Structure 1
Amino acid sequence: MKTSLLISTYNWPKALELVLLSVHNQSEQPDEILIADDGSSEDTKRLIEDFQKKLIAPIHHFWHEDKGFRKAIILNKAIAEAKGDYIIQADGDCIMHKDFVRDHKALAQKNVYLFGSRVNIQEKFLPKLFDSQKIKFGFFDEGIKKRTRNLRIPILSGLYKTKNEISDKMRGCNVSFWKKDVVAVNGYNEAFEGWGREDSELIIRMMNNGVLGRRLRYRGIVYHIWHRVKDQSRFEINDNLQSKAVAEKSKWCENGIDKYL
């Protein structure tokens, strides 16, 4: 099984640097790293070029012009070019536990997607976080909350079984799935613009198509760096798109990944 680690980002190179340092620190490397860049400036490009010289796994940078929040489009473009059978997805503001990739790979199974937890890094800790470039967090370390999510106990992760309904704990910043399962429902719906629901609507269509979900608890941990809430002006529109997918039991979106394949 080949793995593609997919990281989305937009104009926050300081955070992305910590994320890529945490990739460098992984106990098991992905086969490739895909960076889906929703229109960042040259600072992000230079940072990625620097890490292309440092990291073992090849980094592929996918970028399009900044025309507002168009994350679904750039994710589709990256997934279409993925060489891996299995895609592990995170955000450019989520530092990865050293066993993040290993854990997602270990629990990958046919016809199942995984969704994991995130520990929150607090706003007041950000100056120290960036000054020290901290990427490792113990249970009692300062600057974090939701500490129980920072417990890595692999034996307990076996208590969580597959389910055929989406969980409200599912987040696109910590999820993994088979590329073929995403392509089968035509990937992300590019009708989604602006923040919200693009990840969960994709998962809903995958589940309507027979894919089950499993919570990755006590493994596959990420540390989410605090930031201000993004513009939510289109959230109601996006929420309605998701509600439509639920009501119609949709398995396919018209405006999706097929145009890049």
Structure 2
Amino acid sequence: MNSKAHLKASLIISTYNWKEALELVLKSVLNQKVMPSEIIIADDGSSAETKLLIDQFKTRLKIPLHHVWQEDKGFRKSMILNKAIAKACGEYIIQIDGDCIVHPSFIEDHLRYAIKGTYLSGSRVSINKDALKSIFSKQKVTYHFLSKGLKKRGRALHLPFLSRFYKASIEFNLRNRGCNMSYAREDFISVNGYNEDFEGWGREDSELGRRFHNYGLMNRRLKNIAIVYHIYHFAKPKDKLEENHQMEIFARDHKTSWCDNGIDKYLNE
């Protein structure tokens, strides 16, 4: 695998019953300077309205757009991401959430540093609650440092030349988030992907990062590039957070890299 822009990459977008946000995300993908090879929507049980939206975008995109759906049985993000990545054709996976609008250089920025043996993690700029009405009515998908309604706007500075100073590290990254990360599909399969014992919101991404680290992967923080703009929403129920946190602690303390309940069950389907 190399880090050239023509690398075959699959963009995975996780979603659940918020087609208005997903529409903005997909519109921002249309503006990419470098397109992925395919887009896969990892849908954790949305209604038929989301399918109709995805079908509309299939006619607007020049690349394949796939919809991987599972029945709504609560928060099962780990499971639907595994199912989506199992179907991915790309050798490289770029992962975002369905409420994260992407900068026009987002795909290009991830591919700039894409390499087997290193996973990449970017940050996010928050769009405030007060700005929601405006962004949806105006269908706003382009932002910059001075845009109204942004929180932590310093992260909105797109300065690729500065990103070179942040090197890959073997240290564990506490800030790894599934809303802005990428990795070689082969590396993901080597740790058996997401741990599907995680149900309910919280810690599934950081536990994956723990196992990446235990497997020996390097991590590279993407700063001043690969920008996503996270649309405000109310907090998810956290009733499983402590249980999920303990599973992450287990992976840390036992230095586990493999999870038993992972992606392998879908790879030969």
Shorter-normalised TM range: over 0.9
SS at match of 1:33: strand
Q: 1:96 aligns with which of 97, 102, 115?
A: 102
- In structure 2, C-alpha distance between the alignment counterparts of 1:246 and 1:167, rounded to whole Å: 12
CA distance in 2, matches of 1:202, 1:169: 12
Structure 2 residue matching 1:45: 3-state secondary structure:
helix
Q: 2:221 aligns with which of 191, 211, 215?
A: 215
| Aligned partner of 2:179 among 173, 181, 185 | 173
Moved more, 107-116 or 5-14: 107-116
Shift of the alpha carbon at 1:234? 0.2
Matching residue's letter, 1:153: L
Q: Deviations over 1:196-244 (max 9, x none)?
A: 0111111111111111100000100000000000010000000000000
Once the 2 structures are TM-superposed, how far is the Cα of residue 170 of structure 1 from its aligned partner? 1.6
Report how far residue 2 of structure 1 moved: 0.5
Aligned-residue CA RMSD in angstroms?
Answer: 0.7
1:120 aligns with 2:126: yes
Q: How far apart are the structure 1 equivalents of 2:112 and 2:199?
A: 34
Q: Unmatched 5+ residue regions in structure 1?
A: none
Q: What is the distance in 2 between the residues matched to 1:110 and 1:255?
A: 24
Farther off after superposition, 10-19 or 136-145: 136-145
Q: Quote the Cα distance in structure 2 between the aligned partners of 1:81 and 1:109.
A: 21
Deviations 1:119-176 (A, max 9, x none): 1000000000000000011211111111110011111001101112222222110000
For residues 259 and 191 of structure 1, the distance between their equivalents in structure 2, rounded to whole angstroms, comes to 14
Map of 2:245 onto structure 1:
239
Task: Give the conservation status (yes or no) of the 8 Å contact 2:9–2:37.
Answer: yes
Shift of 1:94: 0.1
Deviation by residue 1:43-77 (Cα, 9 ceiling, x = unmatched) = 10100010011112111100000000000001000
Aligned to 1:37: 43
CA deviation profile, 1:170-200 (whole Å, cap 9, x unmatched): 2110000000000001110000000001111
Select which of 178, 182, 206 maps to 2:212: 206
Q: Which amino acid aligns with 2:266?
A: Y
* AA aligned opposite 1:171: R
Name the structure 1 match of 2:154.
148
| Count of matched residue pairs | 261
Describe the SS at the equivalent of 1:239: helix
Report the Cα distance in structure 2 between the residues aligned to 1:45 and 1:174, rounded to whole angstroms: 23
Q: Which amino acid aligns with 2:108?
A: R
- For residues 91-118 of structure 1, the C-alpha deviation after alignment (integer angstroms, 9 at most, x for no partner) is 0000000000000001112310000111
Relative to the length of structure 1, the TM-score reads 0.99
Asked if the contact 2:125/2:227 (under 8 Å) is kept, the reply is yes
The answer to whether the aligner puts 1:8 opposite 2:14 as a matched pair is yes
Match of 1:51 in 2: 57
TM-score by structure 2 length? 0.96
Task: Return the alpha-carbon distance in structure 2 between the equivalents of residues 139 and 259 of structure 1.
Answer: 44
Uncovered stretches (5+) of structure 2, i.e. residues with no partner = 1-6
Query: Secondary structure in 1 aligned to 2:216?
Result: coil
The Cα shift of 1:254 comes to 0.5
1:159 alignment partner, SS class = coil
Which residue among 19, 23, 28 is the counterpart of 1:17? Answer: 23
Question: Does residue 140 of structure 2 align to residue 162 of structure 1?
Answer: no
Q: For 1:57-136, list aligned pairs within 5 A.
A: 57-136=63-142
